[in-house]
Chain A
Amino acid sequence: MKKIFTLLSLSFLMGILNYGCRNPAYQLNVLFDGDVIKYKTTIMLVEADGAALPNNMKIAVTGQDAANVYDFAGLKAITAPNGVITLGIDPKVEPTTTRPLQFNVQVTADNYEPRNIPVTILPNQFSQILRAALLKVISNTPASAVKTIEAPLGAGGATTAPVSLVTPATATVTEVTSITIPAGTTFRNAAGELLVGGSLTARAINFDAGNPAALEMFPGADLSSPNVKGPDGQTGSAFFLPAGFTDIDMFVAGQEVKNFSQPINVGVQINPDFQPVGSNQDVKVGDQLAVYSYQNSTGQWQFEKNANVIRDASNKLAVNFTTDHLTVFFVGNVVSTRTCAPQSLRFTAPWLGSATITTLVQIFRTDGETLIDEEIVIASDGRVVPITGLPPFAVKYKILNASTGLLLASGDIDNACSNGNIAITLGQPGQPVQQVTLTLMVKCNGNFIIPPNFDLFYKPAGAAASQYKYLGEVSRGQLKTVMLAVGSSYDFRANWGNQTKTVNNKTITNLDMSTTVGEYDFLGDKSPEYNKALLLEACKGR
C-alpha cells in the first residue's frame, strides 16, 4: 500500500512538473499592417498629345497641408515614375468635415506648361484618382493651338510698333485668340522690375473649350477650384464653365513678363455652342460673360471683369478685354460653390460580388453633351465614394466601364452639391463576368506582413506603354476585379516610391491568381534577383 502510494505520488508529481506547456506564441504569424498611410491620392499625368512624358518632370507640393504630404512609400521627395504621382497623408493627420486637407501639386518640365493641381481630401475619402495633361508649349494638340512670335524692342525695352499675335485656327481648334500690344509698351517681371532686351517673345495657347480633351488641360486639371477670388473680393471654391480660355506668356531677355506699362488688348473667340448657366440656348451677341485670370504659382483664380459677347471681324463670337498682366485667361460662367456640401456616389452592383470594377464617371450639363467632369472611380457593390467639385445645378451622369466604354449606368442629379448620396445601380453586362483575384502575400524575415496598398496598372500584353490603364488599388495585398479575363495575357505595372515594377505577359490562368512572395518563397520567374533586392529593401525594419 505504502509503495503504491509512493509510486502514485511520484507519478503525480512528475506529471505536474513535466506538464507540457506550449509557448503561447507558437506558430503565431503576427501580421503587421504595412498600409501605414490611410489617405491616398493618385495623380495620373498624361502628355496632352499622346506622346511620351518628359523625363525631367519636377514635382513640388505646396499649400496649407503640404508638410503632411508624402508619397505612398512615406518618402518626402515626390516623384512621378511613369507619370504616376502617389500622395499619402501622414497617418497622424486626419481630415475633418470642417477642415478638409488641401494642398497643391506643382508639376514642371522643360518646354511644358507648368501645372498646379489642387488636391482636397475629405473625411473617408481614402483614395482618389486625378488626371492632368501636360501640354508642350510648342505643339498643337487636338484641343489646343499655339503661336509664338518674336518682336523687336527699342531702347528702354519698349515696343517700337504695335505687336499682334493670333493663334492659328486648326482643323480641330477653330477659334483663335488675338493679342495686340500697343507701341511704346514696356514689360516688368513678377518683382516689378523693368525688363530690357532686344526682343520680346510672346506665346499664346488657345484651347478649344468645347473639346472634352481640353478638360485635362484646364488650369488645376478640373473645372472646379477651391481657390477663387470672386467679384465680391471673397475667396472660396467655384465651378468654371468655359466658353473659351487661353494661356499667354511673354519673355524678355529670358525673364517672364508679368506686367505691362499699359493695357494690352486680348480677344478670345468662344465656343459657339456654349450655353450660359440657366439657359438652354447657345451663347449670343450681347450676353455677358465673366473674365477670370489664373496664377499658376498660387493656383488662384481671380475675377477680372465682365465682358459682353461680340461678333468679331472674322464673324466669330468673341469676348474682348484689356489687361495689364499676364496669365491664363478664362471667359465664361463661374458659379460659386462655397456653400456646396460634398456628394457621395453609392454603388449597387450585386453582380460584382466582392470584386471591383474600374469605372469612368462622366458628368454632363443637362444637354447631355457638354462634359464638365470626368473621373476614374473604383466601384464595388455597396461602396460609397465621396466626390468633390460638382456644380450647384442639375447635371446628368454616365458611368462607363473604363476599359471597354460599356455604359453601366446613367441618370440625372438634381443638385450636385447638396450633401447626399447619389444612388447608382450598375447594370450587369450581357456576358458573364469573371471575378479574378490577385493576392499577394508577402513574407518579411519569415513572417507574413500585409503589404501597403498600392495602385496597379495594366494593359494587354505587348501593347504600347501609353495603353496602361488603372486596374485598381491592391488593398491588403488583394485585388479582386472583373477587368481581367481568364485566358488573356496582360502587362502589369506598379509604382512604389520612385521605383517601378512591371510584370509582362502574365496570363490569367484561373480565377485565383494568389501567390506568396518571400526571400525563400516565390520571387517571380522573370527577374527573381531584382525582385529579391526590392523585397529585402522593402522589408527593412519589419
Chain B
Amino acid sequence: MKRHFTSLVLGFILAAVTGASAQTSVDSTRTRAYLAAHVGTSGAGLDFKVAVKPSFTIRAGASILPFDYNTLMTVRAQPAKIDIQADFNNAHLIFDWHPFLKEKGLSKKAFVSVGAGYFWKAEGSGTASYDGTYQYGDISIPSSELGELTGRVEWNKVAPYAGIGFQNPFPMRKVNVSFSVGAFYMGKADATLTGTKLLVNNQANQRQFEENMSFYRILPVAQVSLNFNLF
C-alpha cells in the first residue's frame, strides 16, 4: 500500500512539474513578490512570497487544518462510536533555494526548503464509546452510562521544516503553480489516555499510549500553491 502511495505521489509531482515547465522566465534581476494560496496535507492557507534573489525566496504565511471524523466500527466485537478531531494551525517562515538556476528543464525549477512553523494549535483527540445498550444481566445500561475512552495528543508549538519542491523561479504569467513536499518535525507528543465511568480504569494504558504516539513526530507536507504575481 505504501509503495502504491509513494508511486502515486511521485507521479503526481512529475506530472505537475511537467505542466509547469511550459512557463518561461523573464526578468531574472528584479525582486518579485507573490501572494500564494496553498492546499495540502498540512491544511489550507496563504503565503506571502518574496524572491529576494533569483535563487532565494522567502515565504511567510499560515495554514490551518481542522479535522473531524466520526465513524462507527467494531471494537472487541462490540459496536463503537469513534470521533477523531485534530487541529494543526501554524504560522511559518520558510526559505526556498533554487540550486540549479543555470540548468534547463525540470532541474531549474527544483528548490530546497528549510524553515520553521509556530503551531498555535497542534493537537488531536480521539474518543471511543460504546454504541448501543449494554446488557448486564437483566439491567439495560445506555451507552451514555458506560463512559468513553479519550486519547489526547499535543505536539510542540515550534517545529522545524524541511522540504523540496518545484516552481518556476521567474514566471511570466500573472498566476503560476508550484508544488512542494516536506515535513514539519513536531517532536515527541504529550499524550494522555483517560476513561470515564466503566472505562475509568485505563490509567494502566497511559504509558503504552504515550509510546505509541511517540512514533508520530512528523507532520508530512505535500501541497500545491497557486501564486499570484503582485508586482
Interface residues of A (CB under 8 A from B): 1-2, 5, 9, 12-14, 16-33, 36-37, 70-71, 73-76, 90-92, 445, 447, 450, 476, 497, 541-542
Contacts of B230 in A (CB 8 A): none
What number of B residues sit within 8 Å (CB to CB) of A? 50
CB closest chain-A residue, reference B151: A24
Which residues of B96-147 have CB atoms within 8 Å of chain A's CB atoms?
Answer: 99-100, 103, 107, 110, 112, 126, 134-139, 141, 145
Contacts of B205 in A (CB 8 A): 28-31
Alpha-carbon distance between A22 and B214 when the two chains are bound, in angstroms = 9
Q: Which interface residue of B9, B164, B213 has the most chain A CB atoms within 10 A? A: B164
Which listed segment binds A: B50-58, B62-70, B195-203?
A: B195-203
B6 at the interface (CB under 8 A from A): yes
B204 at the interface (CB under 8 A from A): yes
Check A26/B208 contact, CB under 8 A, given A19-B218, A31-B201: yes
In the complex, what's the smallest C-beta–C-beta distance from B129 to chain A, in angstroms? 12
Contacts of A23 in B (CB 8 A): 212
**B137–A447 touching, CB < 8 Å:** no
Check A31/B209 contact, CB under 8 A, given A17-B5, A19-B218, A36-B139: no
Check A13/B204 contact, CB under 8 A, given A33-B199, A76-B138: no
**A36–B198 touching, CB < 8 Å:** yes
Alpha-carbon distance between A74 and B134 when the two chains are bound, in angstroms = 12
**B215–A22 touching, CB < 8 Å:** yes
B226 at the interface (CB under 8 A from A): no
In the complex, what's the smallest C-beta–C-beta distance from B180 to chain A, in angstroms? 11
Closest 5 CB pairs of A and B: A74-B137, A74-B136, A22-B215, A33-B198, A76-B138
B45 at the interface (CB under 8 A from A): no
**A92–B145 touching, CB < 8 Å:** yes
B181 at the interface (CB under 8 A from A): yes
**A2–B139 touching, CB < 8 Å:** no
CB closest chain-B residue, reference A33: B198
B10 at the interface (CB under 8 A from A): yes
In the complex, what's the smallest C-beta–C-beta distance from B219 to chain A, in angstroms? 10
In the complex, what's the smallest C-beta–C-beta distance from A26 to chain B, in angstroms? 5
**A33–B200 touching, CB < 8 Å:** yes
Contacts of A19 in B (CB 8 A): 183, 218, 220
Q: Which interface residue of B2, B76, B139, B181 has the most chain A CB atoms within 10 A? A: B139
Contact with A along B74-92 (1 / 0, CB 8 A): 0111100000000000000
Listed A/B pairs (28) with beta-carbon separation below 8 Å: A9-B164, A12-B162, A12-B164, A16-B181, A16-B182, A17-B2, A17-B9, A19-B218, A21-B215, A24-B126, A24-B209, A24-B213, A25-B212, A26-B208, A28-B212, A29-B205, A30-B149, A30-B205, A31-B201, A32-B198, A32-B199, A33-B200, A36-B141, A74-B136, A75-B137, A91-B139, A92-B145, A450-B201
Alpha-carbon distance between A24 and B5 when the two chains are bound, in angstroms = 21
Interface residues of B (CB under 8 A from A): 2, 5-6, 9-10, 75-78, 99-100, 103, 107, 110, 112, 126, 134-139, 141, 145, 149, 151, 162-164, 181-183, 193, 195, 197-202, 204-205, 208-209, 212-213, 215-216, 218, 220
Contacts of B2 in A (CB 8 A): 17-18
**SS class of chain B's interface: helix, strand, loop or mixed?**
mixed
In the complex, what's the smallest C-beta–C-beta distance from B73 to chain A, in angstroms? 11
Contacts of A1 in B (CB 8 A): 99-100
Q: Out of A27, A33, A37, A76, which one reaches B201, CB within 8 Å?
A: A33
In the complex, what's the smallest C-beta–C-beta distance from B32 to chain A, in angstroms? 23
Contacts of B197 in A (CB 8 A): 33
Check A2/B212 contact, CB under 8 A, given A16-B218, A33-B201, A70-B139: no
Q: Out of B77, B145, B220, which one reaches A16, CB within 8 Å?
A: B220
**B164–A31 touching, CB < 8 Å:** no
Contacts of B138 in A (CB 8 A): 70, 74-76
Alpha-carbon distance between A13 and B78 when the two chains are bound, in angstroms = 39
Q: Out of A24, A25, A74, A542, which one reaches B139, CB within 8 Å?
A: A74
Q: Which interface residue of A13, A18, A37, A476 has the most chain B CB atoms within 10 A? A: A13
Alpha-carbon distance between A90 and B138 when the two chains are bound, in angstroms = 10
**A21–B208 touching, CB < 8 Å:** no
Contacts of B200 in A (CB 8 A): 33
Contacts of A32 in B (CB 8 A): 198-199
In the complex, what's the smallest C-beta–C-beta distance from B128 to chain A, in angstroms? 8
**B204–A31 touching, CB < 8 Å:** yes
CB closest chain-A residue, reference B197: A33
**B198–A30 touching, CB < 8 Å:** no
Check A447/B145 contact, CB under 8 A, given A29-B205, A30-B205, A73-B137: no
Contacts of B198 in A (CB 8 A): 32-33, 36
**A541–B5 touching, CB < 8 Å:** no
CB closest chain-B residue, reference A73: B137
Alpha-carbon distance between A29 and B204 when the two chains are bound, in angstroms = 9
In the complex, what's the smallest C-beta–C-beta distance from A515 to chain B, in angstroms? 18
CB closest chain-A residue, reference B78: A541
**A30–B137 touching, CB < 8 Å:** no
CB closest chain-B residue, reference A19: B218
In the complex, what's the smallest C-beta–C-beta distance from A114 to chain B, in angstroms? 25
Check A90/B139 contact, CB under 8 A, given A13-B10, A24-B151: yes
Contacts of B76 in A (CB 8 A): 30, 445, 447, 542
Q: Which interface residue of A16, A22, A37 has the most chain B CB atoms within 10 A? A: A16
